[in-house]
Structure 1
Amino acid sequence: MSDSVPMTPECYARLQEELKNRIKVDRPKVVQDIAEARSHGDLSENAEYDAAKDRQAHIEGRIAELNDKLARAEVIDPKSINTDKIVFGATVTLFDTDSDNEVVYQIVGEDEADIKQGKISVTSPVGKALIGHTLDDEVRINVPSGTRIYEVTEIEYK
């Protein structure tokens, strides 16, 4: 995979911090845990050793994943975007015509999506459906419970 990974500056910084922590804290700790478990003798029946090796595999896998994402990162600062269309980084206010409710979503990368914070992934069905629309557009989005119809009432880049 050589596709770029869109993310906000905040997400990029958070992933860099996690990578640094995995390399400087988690990796040395698990190496120490493996050495300690080895010192307990027979490795064939050593649950501590097996658990430490599993943790090591998980940590190394996450380090590789973070390195890959950061190498392919396309950092996009929403404040620098100047368009009237919905694109990555947009904070969109939608009016749900069925429920007469307003919802606000920010379109972000997969690593920062959190529906409780109103952050949806650009690759999610809702995120994909919103991309390219402009103010006052009617957007039909297929969700598990059926088709929802939203009207775009505000687009901000903040």
Structure 2
Amino acid sequence: MSRGFVKEDDQEEVPIVPPRADLPAGATNYVTPRGMEALLSEKNSMISEREAIDLDNESERRIAVNHLNAKLQLLNDRIRSAKVVEPKGQPHDEVRFGATVSLKIDGSKKTHSYQITGVDEADIAHGKIAFVSPIAKLLTNKRVGDKVVLKLIRGDRVFEILDIAYDSK
């Protein structure tokens, strides 16, 4: 139909949906078992939210449903591409995906712990870093006692690996 026959009021805005956490092109979407559980739980929550939309205005309802459908599409794509990595299958004497690594930074007495996770699971406030992050890449394949150097503009940071642990779930 020609655009000349469409009323201005009938045009709906295309929902703008923020992208999910960045996964570099060509990178495998590794997730921990907990990460996959979280993705599936998020999907169920979105479906429930979509089903619970109760707006009297049909146009507003369609916009809300379209927005949730767009978010669900991104989430479903991420779930389909996910490759679950079982921690128990990792070599426990090396840092690999799923490891929780205890470190000293720059010789500090304070110990920091970070788990290497999938991009959707990463949350630095909870000690979870994405496997594609510079620190995770430096730590991967290292062992207890190894030191790695992260080159920064303000100077180098030295990370000493104190312990490597794998969560059973």
The TM-score, its normalising length taken from structure 2, stands at: 0.73
1:130-153 deviations in Å (ceiling 9; x for gaps) = 112222111111357542101111
Kindly provide the amino acid, as one letter, of the partner of residue 37 in structure 2: A
% identical equivalent positions: 31
**Residue 29 in 1 paired to residue 49 in 2?**
no
Query: Counterparts of 1:3-152 in structure 2 under 5 Å?
Result: 3-23=27-47, 25-30=48-53, 32-33=54-55, 36-38=56-58, 49=60, 52-143=61-152, 145-152=154-161
Kindly provide the amino acid, as one letter, of the partner of residue 81 in structure 1: Q
**Structure 1 runs not aligned, ≥5 long:** 44-48
* Whole-Å separation in 2 of the counterparts to 1:57 and 1:142: 44
Residue 126 of structure 1 deviates from its aligned partner by 1.3
Asked if the contact 1:3/1:72 (under 8 Å) is kept, the reply is: no
* Whole-Å separation in 1 of the counterparts to 2:111 and 2:151: 18
* Whole-Å separation in 1 of the counterparts to 2:153 and 2:65: 38
**Structure 2 runs not aligned, ≥5 long:** 1-24
Structure 1 residues 145, 120: CA separation in 2 closer, same or farther (over 3 Å shift)?
Answer: farther
Q: How many residues align?
A: 143
More helix by share: 1
Residue 64 of structure 1 deviates from its aligned partner by 0.7
Structure 1 residues 56, 147: CA separation in 2 closer, same or farther (over 3 Å shift)?
Answer: farther
The TM-score, its normalising length taken from structure 1, stands at: 0.78
**Poorly superposed stretches of 4+, deviation over 6 Å:** none
SS in 2 for 1:106: strand
What is the CA RMSD across the aligned residues, in angstroms? Answer: 2.2
